[in-house]
Structure 1
Amino acid sequence: MKSITLNCPAKINLSLDILGKRSDGYHEIDTIMQTISLEDVIRIEKSNEFSLEVKGGDIPLDDRNIALKAAKLMFDTYKIGGGLSVYIEKNIPVAAGLAGGSTDAAGVIEGINTLYCLNLCKKDLMDIAAMIGSDVPFLMEKGTALCKGRGEIVTPLKSMSGHLVLIAKPPISVSTKEVFNNLKLEKIKKRPNNDILLDCIDDNNIDLLSKNLVNVLETVTIPMHRVIEDIKNIMNEFGALGSIMSGSGPTVFGIFKDKSIDDCYNYLKGDFDEVYIATMK
């Protein structure tokens, strides 16, 4: 085998709580993540040197790209000779709170393990993933999961696949670092109740789950960009069971049950380019 192609899904946060800042500079999180059918496509091929090509999306093509960083870490750690050609078809919006870079890195790790017949165990793969980024371990796991620590402690949950999700990213950029730096933990009045969400997931109760979506980072990002709240309100007016910002933003997602998702999609497409209908998977 000389090459391998993989689909790399975006993630959304069904809940996101920040518990405090750790001694290593990261924040302690408590979040439930869910992969969706909006996906990048990556192809990796054995080569004599490292190279990166991207179609769609304005992302770094040098060592700042975490997919390339993941490839080089895998090669260094497991003494793989030569290089790797990485091609990424970007379908996931960039800098959106959907972990588009992290999922590409996870795909590269998974692809190298297969392409070079490394036969690494899950723990080894997750350890590499955690070295690359906080969301990467979950993107190795995929599906529905409770994530703690800085994101590297991943507990798989019962699948919520099939539920409809509308994704809308306004044309603004949000700095994750700036959002976390401006988060005032003592001023957060409403936090996620993950016990309720875990029961909802266990019972596949999408209605009650959707009524309990909470992301504490909204307390920072929405005052900076009111359009996020506007999108949430539009989704709710069109019949979303619930809507929330994903990650540090600015992307908003709404959970729908019926064809009202099409009406909301058409309405939002009149104002925003990056609007997508997806399913949980």
Structure 2
Amino acid sequence: MIDFPNAKINIGLNITERRADGYHNLETVFYPLMIKDALEVIESKELNFQSSGIVIPGSSEQNLCLKAYYLLKQDFDIKPVDIHLHKHIPIGAGLGGGSADAAFFIKLINQTFALGLTPDAMMQYARQLGADCAFFINNQPVYAYGKGDDFEPVSLDLSAYKLVLVMPPVHVSTAEAYGGIKPVPAQTSLKGLIKLPVTEWKAHIHNDFEGHIFKAHPAIAAVKDELYNAGALYASMSGSGASVFGIFEKLPDLSRLEKENQVFYGV
């Protein structure tokens, strides 16, 4: 079986407090983005993982798809599988690509071996693999809170707009992103702000990571400025970066950005 895990963007991201368990409470809106990996799972005599496309850092044994396999293996007598992941979603971009791969892998295993897991049950497994992993089970826009794995559905449809994603040649680690954060309770909840017209988001919806990350990586800040110069109604870094997305009424000419960055149009 084959499926195509997609990315997500964060629309707004408020880090509201540090938790006793070392995580942070936050609020954000996850929205699916149609930049996709390809993931194939085939029954095999032995468990095997291989990847192509963008090089995935670290050892393959640490890949979330394998971790998801072993997690399910604890509760189900599933056979070994051949896993082939073709990586296209930029890595270290705040797009949740690894989490998407794991969530889609859980769904493929559920189908392949007819496990009968409900979406809620699959989400419980996904939550054990990453804070945003469970989002990709239902893959619908949500208001996320707590560690980022508690969800409420939101009525949000951006299909009338053109989304553009820019990935600069910069890597921002999770440790760097959270290391510069000073949690502050949000004055107005994002759950209400997301209902505003997109034309008003610029003044009200922000990503708390941008302040210190833009200082450390001016190239990311420059991308956001360029998107607004090109006519974006709203632009923001996604998650902890380094990618930046823009929402436009019509596709812009970003040829200057294309010289030094990856640019994905109409996603």
Superposed CA deviations along residues 115-162 of structure 1, whole A, max 9, x for unmatched, are 111111222111100000001011112121111111211122224142
Superposed CA deviations along residues 13-66 of structure 1, whole A, max 9, x for unmatched, are 001111111122111111111011111111111112221111111214522111
2:52 pairs with one of 52, 55, 60? 55
Equivalents in 1 of 2:89, 2:11: separation in Å? 18
Corresponding residue SS for 2:37: strand
Corresponding residue SS for 1:249: coil
Partner of 2:20: 23
Alignment CA distance shift 1:182-1:210 (3 Å): closer
* Contact persistence 2:42–2:81 (CA under 8 A): yes
Partner of 1:277: 265
Q: Which moved more, 1:23-32 or 1:211-220?
A: 211-220
Equivalent residues in 2 for 1:179-218 (5 A)? 179-185=177-183, 193-200=189-196, 205-209=197-201, 211-218=203-210
The CA deviation at 1:275 is 1.3
The CA deviation at 1:76 is 2.0
Give yes or no for the alignment of 1:134 onto 2:118: no
Give yes or no for the alignment of 1:37 onto 2:23: no
Alignment CA distance shift 1:193-1:100 (3 Å): same
Find runs of 4+ consecutive structure 1 residues off by over 4 angstroms: 190-193
Equivalents in 1 of 2:92, 2:214: separation in Å? 16
Partner of 1:115: 112
Corresponding residue SS for 1:49: coil
* Contact persistence 1:268–1:275 (CA under 8 A): yes
| TM-score normalised over the length of structure 1 | 0.88
The CA deviation at 1:79 is 2.8
Alignment CA distance shift 1:180-1:47 (3 Å): same
Corresponding residue SS for 2:148: coil
* Contact persistence 1:228–1:250 (CA under 8 A): yes
**Counterpart residue identity of residue 190, structure 2:** N
Q: Which runs of 5+ in 2 are unaligned?
A: none
* Contact persistence 1:40–1:88 (CA under 8 A): yes
2:244 pairs with one of 238, 252, 261? 252
Measured on the aligned residues, the alpha-carbon RMSD in Å equals 1.9
* Contact persistence 1:191–1:214 (CA under 8 A): no
**Counterpart residue identity of residue 48, structure 1:** K
* Contact persistence 1:138–1:151 (CA under 8 A): no
Equivalents in 1 of 2:246, 2:100: separation in Å? 21
Corresponding residue SS for 2:195: helix
1:97 pairs with one of 89, 94, 99? 94
Q: Which moved more, 1:239-248 or 1:54-63?
A: 54-63
Equivalents in 1 of 2:203, 2:49: separation in Å? 42
The CA deviation at 1:256 is 0.7
Equivalents in 2 of 1:192, 1:235: separation in Å? 26
The CA deviation at 1:193 is 4.5
The CA deviation at 1:233 is 0.5
